[in-house]
Structure 1
Amino acid sequence: MIYSYTVNPILVPSGSIVANGGSVNNKGIEFNVNAKIVDRTNLSWTSGINLAHNKNEITSLTNPLFAGGDSVLLSRPEGGGQSGRSLQILKAGRPLGQYFSFKYAGKNEAGVSQFYAADGSLTTTPVVGKDYYYLGSAQPKLMLGWTNSLRYKNFDLNVFIRGVFGNKVFNATRADLFRPSTAQYSNILVDAADEPASDFNAYVYSSRFLESGSFVRFDNATLGYNFRKLGPFVKNLRVYTSVNNLFVITKYKGVDPEVNQGGIAPGVDYNNFYPKTRTFLFGLNISI
């Protein structure tokens, strides 16, 4: 909850201070089970699964020294033409990463993107802050970790798979590249090429660019083979190969759904995300 809070000018002449002034509550449940599924002389298989659910909630934006107000609008990627528009809100009773922005309502008869106003009517000129809606959270509802260790004679295989489910990611990168009228002098997405150039609202930050952040990632796999008792000087020789980040199963349209989840504004793809690499490793272990 580190943010810029209002403080008595007698204490701080500027009237504000960056401090850890709010309160956050986390409650959850975690389930873990490990099992030896197969246990034979030449074959074994052990598996473990971990499931975790956490509920995050801001309980206060103030304390005896600092005042954060009733709510704070934040997350401003500041893409082209997006000046002043925010994506999230800090508010007591809501989680960190609560999306709060325009709600997309399709296109009108003129082919211009429209949005829901605060009273439920449709408008092509929504007002920042006033016509905002709660649009979901960056906080996942379930996290999964699954490990497997298999051994067959001299072979061994270890596999780890991770999953995150129920969270939202705001694809600001996609929105910033969704401007068909700029195609003559800047890059746009292939999808944006089907948008009419007359749609001056096509790229406006709204629920249109809020996507599911759920994914299953094949995090790591290591396969090895052990040569035993090779002679008086070598007790064991193990040859192995390992791969990290083999593949990701997701519906997210961006580079990677696993964007920043830290700080007070998680879950926003700000067009500054460096994609995870896929690595292959070959190794040799010798015991003498």
Structure 2
Amino acid sequence: MRLNHLANKILLSDTKKLAGAEREATVKLLHHLKEIDKRKLYCDLKHSSLFAYCVHELGYSEGAAHRRIVAARALAEMPEIEKKIEDGSLNLTNISLVNQFIDDPIQKREVFKEIENLTKNECEQKLFEITGKEEKPKDKKKRISKNKIQVAFVLSDETMELVEQLKNLLGKEMEMDQLIQFMAKKAIESVEKTKFKQTKPRQSLSPAKVGRAIPASVKRTVYGRDKKCTNCGTTHNLNYDHIIPYSMGGPSSVENLRLLCRECNQRGRIKAGLRAPPKTIRLF
């Protein structure tokens, strides 16, 4: 697009109109995201979260996706901020900053009034004044090769002392990568023993012998078979879900159980016309 033929005043005027139209379009987008979030529609596209949908389907960067989701949820809580977003006195960056500092919706309402038309830096300073909080260190990770990720995070003195104590007990020099791998493997072994207990595995149990409570052997078999949400593939917030609902006579058997994440479980209930929170059995 060539604009060199436009007079200066027209170029400035058109640009201002476009910025206003962009903000109006942003508000419409936030309303759409809010409704998609409510219906959990991203699960139909095999995404585990609204964030994944925004990144992979809408093409937003991770930061841009996060800001829009935070703003959409703020808009759901406080419809009055819509006009402020449209006229530019509240921007998505500052809304996201408020969300980092403040949880209470009532306090957020008051703070939004105080940060109107502020730059990001001014907004941060105002939030530090209001809350008295120190800046929260952010974990950072960056891929530096095909199979290596550089991670930076802040540890408390207590945590660092525990790490050093473990290194001393092991009695050998270990790189941090090796130490974290060692701790993760031990933690996984411990959690799996607690989660499944130590019973002999069985492929299935007859419906007559299995009630609502799922035996450890059945849990172990289902988890070993699925390992992730059978709809979207995530490994987070997994539940044991009855394919044929227990309330409709579905047994707690290997054949009638699957792993679903919380979001996909809720989406299934919405599609079935069941709006109440699912009575699922969490892994932990």
Normalised by the shorter chain, which TM-score bucket?
A: under 0.3
Higher helix share: 2
Higher strand share: 1
Could you tell me the TM-score, scaled by structure 2's length? 0.19
Could you tell me the TM-score, scaled by structure 1's length? 0.19
